[in-house]
Amino acid sequence: MLRIERAIHDAILAHARRDHPDEACGVVAGPEGSDEPRRFVPMLNAARSPTFYEFDSADLLALYKEMAANDEEPVVVYHSHTATEAYPSRTDVSYASEPNAHYVLVSTRSEDTEFRSFRIVDGTVTEEQVEIVER
């Protein structure tokens, strides 16, 4: 189960809506081994595409260096789908490289924004419950 603070949940939704019609992407970092998403880090979709996202390699390297210096890890890796449901595509599954991360997908295809979380390990996708908590 993903437990996420309302403020971070809302920030992810706002980022997805703001970047629409392109896909939005980012990370929520947290203390290593904690499974607690704490620090919202919106990233630039270097692909600037409505059907694909790609982290800028220099930005991603800088983020991983920063997380290492802060004893953090990516607890949530998120992106949006602009015209399809919030479910990992084959491409999403093939790029999922953080076995401990929650992969959050947001669909901005309608005003009723979908927010779903998945674990993706060795190509296997498992949906999990999301609990939004107040701080």
Q: What would the pLDDT profile of 58-77 be if each residue is shown by its tens digit?
A: 999 999 999 999 999 999 99
Calculate what percentage of the chain has a pLDDT beyond 90: 97
Average confidence score pLDDT of the chain: 96
Domains and CATH numbers, the chain: 2-133 (3.40.140.10)
Beta pairing, strands 124-128 & 39-43? unpaired
Closest CA to 77 of 99, 53, 104: 104
Q: What would the pLDDT profile of 75-86 be if each residue is shown by its tens digit?
A: 999 999 999 999
Closest CA to 103 of 72, 85, 82, 126: 126
